[in-house]
Amino acid sequence: MKKLIVIDSCMRAESRTRLILNAAVAELSKRYEVEIIDVNAVGLPPLDKTTYVDQRENGNIPPMAMEIARKVAACDRLVVAAPFWDMSFPAILKSFFENISLFDITFTDDGSACRGLCKCEKVLYITSRGMNIPTGDPREQASGYIAALSYLWGLGEVITVAATNVDYRSPEELALHLESTIAEAVEICREF
């Protein structure tokens, strides 16, 4: 069975993003062996002067970061789920990506440019946004980053599924909107 990794950066117990993710995972589990990596539980420290200059530059990379980077590089499909925070995704997820963006594991270079080393061919990015901001809008700085990371690592096409305006809909409207967003996600997952 092909392998799919979910990078789960949802935060709240009642997360709307996770509702969409759960439906997607239920569909994807029919065709993929799914492994969920919980960004909060992994707890990799952010890269700063100590962890990057003093440690990583001296070859001291957390074994957990290497293990996850290898899994991501080897998987067939990737799903990223994260709420929309401060016009992007939470900083802990950026920090997670920095930790597992490892030379000769997720990318390399040929002396003149970087080249991705990942086997993955498609990424599904799932989110929910409080405000009414569509995917690709200049105020939306998450999907563009994930597309750029896909370029660096060689992850392939990035498909975004987003619930929008979730903090400003009536409960009835929100329930209908989440229902249709979940249906959209499940439909994408059938072909993913």
Ligand X SMILES: Cc1cc2nc3c(=O)[nH]c(=O)nc-3n(C[C@H](O)[C@H](O)[C@H](O)COP(=O)(O)O)c2cc1C
47 vs 131, beta carbon nearer ligand X = 131
Beta bridge partners of 38: 8
The pair of three-digit structure tokens given for residue 139, joined into one six-digit string: 């105020």
Q: How far is CA 113 from CA 22, 30, 121, 155, in A?
A: 38, 38, 21, 17
In the complex, the residues that contact ligand X under the rule CB under 6 A are 10-12, 15-17, 83-87, 128-131, 133, 166-167
Q: How far is the CB of 167 from ligand X (least distance, A)?
A: 5
Q: How far is the CB of 129 from ligand X (least distance, A)?
A: 4
11 vs 186, beta carbon nearer ligand X = 11
Q: How far is the CB of 10 from ligand X (least distance, A)?
A: 5
**Crossing angle between the packed helical segments 171-191 and 16-28, to the nearest 10 degrees:** 30
Whether 53 contacts 105, CB under 8 Å: no
37 vs 61, beta carbon nearer ligand X = 37
130 vs 144, beta carbon nearer ligand X = 130
Q: How far is the CB of 78 from ligand X (least distance, A)?
A: 19
51 vs 164, beta carbon nearer ligand X = 164
Whether 146 contacts 80, CB under 8 Å: yes
Which residue is closest to ligand X by CB?
Answer: 130
Q: How far is the CB of 132 from ligand X (least distance, A)?
A: 8
Closest CA to 87 of 49, 47, 131, 56: 131
Beta bridge partners of 161: 126
The pair of three-digit structure tokens given for residue 68, joined into one six-digit string: 């996850």
